[in-house]
Amino acid sequence: MSIKRLIFQKGGIGTSMSRKETVARLNPIIEAHLKLNLAYRFAINHLSDDNVVTALKQQQRTARMDVGKLSETVLSCGGIAFNGVSLNPTDYALDASNDAMLFELLDRERAFHDEVKAELSQPHQLRTEAIINNVLANSEARLGVLREQTKRRHRPREAAQ
């Protein structure tokens, strides 16, 4: 983050989005993150490779904390955070085979990463921007784990994009 950006943020010369706008922009990210976390849980419960399950489990505590931080931000802006009550199992169920599950998780994580990265172009307040940057870094870590787990596997044709 540049010094200029710090100087010209809200409270200085520049502007950042309102609390209402922050709520409207963060809730879709929270929803996408919850769906992704549930997809990871589905994979953890259905994968037959214990090493992969262990690697995925190690990432989930941080992923749940990310959702909590985003939700806290929405609440601190006076909004109601998306809570996942309206989600259906089809929102996070994965393909049946180990390889297909891992490649589908990889694709979903990439899509989430891209969504979060795009959000950084918005004029968020500094604290919110820091949280989004942290969520992005944690997504990159999960992508690294998934790339490592899929590099010696073959993408099933039906899961290919």
Condensed to tens digits (0 to 9), the pLDDT of residues 6-37 reads: 555 544 456 889 999 999 999 999 999 999 99
pTM: 0.87
Looking at the domain that runs over 16-159, which CATH code has it been given? 1.20.1260.10
Where b means 16+ CB within 10 Å and e means fewer, 36-68 reads bbbbbbbbbeebeeeebeebbeebeeebeebbe
Domain ranges across the chain: 16-159
Condensed to tens digits (0 to 9), the pLDDT of residues 105-124 reads: 999 999 999 999 999 999 99
